[in-house]
Homo-oligomer: A and B are copies of this chain.
Amino acid sequence: MTTRTYNFSAGPATLPLSVLEKAQAELLSLPGVGASVLEISHRSPAFVEIAQAAEANLRELLSISDDYAVLFLQGGSRLQFSMVPMNLLGEHANSADYILTGSWGKNAAKEAAKEGDICIAWDGGSTNYDRLPADGDLDLNSDAGYVHFTSNETIQGVQFAAEPNTGSVPLVCDASSDFMHRPLDVSKYGMIYACAQKNAGPAGLTVVVMRKDLLELSSDDLPGYLNYKVHAENDSMWNTPPTFAIYMLKLVTDWLKDEIGGLEKMHELNKQKAALLYKVLDDNPDFYQGHAKPEVRSLMNVTFRLPDDELTAKFLAAAKEQRLTDLKGHRSVGGIRASIYNAMPMAGVEALRDFMVDFVGRH
């Protein structure tokens, strides 16, 4: 068995070792079932129990009330970019407001514009998405169908510490890269969606948390798979759901509950981990140039540049030698990105911190 590295990939991302060990132990046969979770029918009692446990864990961790449906879908955030306007716009409202704080918000708005009138409530593009709007900066329409924002932008490394205030207009959040990193007041949201491959499990599962009254807006003319109401009415089993990814979500949420102790504690740990790395940036501002303004720094993705491309390449190569991998910034922005989602252990962050301090000393 190869020794495991500390993997700072932005997603798919590192998973808790205890979760992987449990999945490994059960991979040939679920206890008492006699078949792998990869092989059993999604309608079998064993799998239905797993899916229900995953949902119950989510409801417990995020205090999701019965006013909200929890859906397990496929297609990632990219499909949500289209499904959100296809379901939530219509006769009652044909426009939506989008807050653009980075690459993913822009992608979401681009897809939405194919489905309805999209108004840009704020766009951080002029400063290369290094900051976030205050509520007063937002140009919101009171008759919009919804307001969309991206709670954490993985590429730029900027993150909302609290939700924008959108009054009575439903707030829709792409929480793909910081879902379950802290407690949320779900009642402030009309809808939250998140692909799983950062904080919730492997790639191939998208979790949707949606206020039930909004389900009534979905038109029967929509393609079946793109209709939230269809999925809700069928307990996410209108088609075969991604069973293994749901099983992994169940294990990850078990870990959050039982090993971490809930989202308050997870948030505390995430703040501690991020602080270790941002301190290195603050201590060496000429060497490590953080992308995000300090007040909006992401707890999930720490983005920075080195003085030149040669040093960046040296940094990546030397880190890899110390088994610190996947630190290259997104191809669209370059530099360095350390993704430190829930499952990245403190020891991994400490190892990276030590490496960064050492590297700046040597150069």
Footprint of B on A, CB under 8 Å? Answer: 1-5, 7, 9-15, 17, 20-21, 23-24, 27-36, 38-42, 44, 74-79, 81-82, 86, 111, 114-115, 195, 197, 202-205, 221-226, 238-245, 248, 323, 325-326
List, in ascending order, chain B residues with CB within 8 A of A222's CB.
114
For A32, the closest partner residue in chain B by CB is B2
User: B7 touching A34 by the CB < 8 A rule?
Assistant: yes
Q: Is the CB of A41 within 8 A of B17?
A: no
Instruction: Answer whether A203 and B242 are a contact pair too, CB < 8 Å, given A31-B2, A35-B7.
Output: yes
Once the chains bind, are B323 and A111 in contact (CB under 8 Å)? no
Q: How many copies does the complex hold?
A: 2
**Are the C-beta atoms of A203 and B78 separated by less than 8 Å?**
no
Looking across the interface, which residue of chain B has its beta carbon closest to that of A38? Answer: B202
List of B residues within 8 angstroms of A244 by Cβ: 202-204, 244-245
Is there contact, CB below 8 Å, between B225 and A75?
A: yes
Q: Name the CB-closest residue of B to A230.
A: B78
Q: Contact at B12–A39, with CB atoms within 8 Å? A: yes
On whether the beta carbons of B14 and A23 are closer than 8 Å, the reply is no
Of residues A10, A13, A28, A223, which shows the largest number of chain B Cβ atoms within 10 Å of its Cβ?
A223
Q: Is the CB of B195 within 8 A of A82?
A: no
16 contacts between A and B (CB under 8 A): A1-B28, A2-B30, A2-B33, A5-B35, A7-B34, A23-B27, A35-B325, A74-B76, A75-B75, A75-B239, A82-B223, A197-B240, A204-B241, A204-B242, A204-B243, A244-B245
Residues of B within 8 A of A325 (CB): 34-35
Is A223 touching B111 in the complex (CB atoms < 8 A)? yes
Complex Cα–Cα for A114 and B226 (A): 12
Residues of B within 8 A of A32 (CB): 2
| Interfacial chain B residues near A224, Cβ < 8 Å | 78, 81-82, 111
Query: Which residues on B sit within 8 Å (CB–CB) of A238?
Result: 78
Q: Given A1-B29, A27-B24, A34-B4, decide whether A240 and B82 contact each other with a Cβ distance below 8 A.
A: no
A28 with B17, Cβ < 8 A, contacts A74-B75, A203-B242, A240-B195 known: yes
**Which residues of B are found within 8 Å of A14, using beta-carbon distances?**
35, 39
* Given A82-B223, A203-B244; A39-B24 close (CB under 8 Å): no
- Contact between chains at A86 and B27 (CB < 8 Å): no
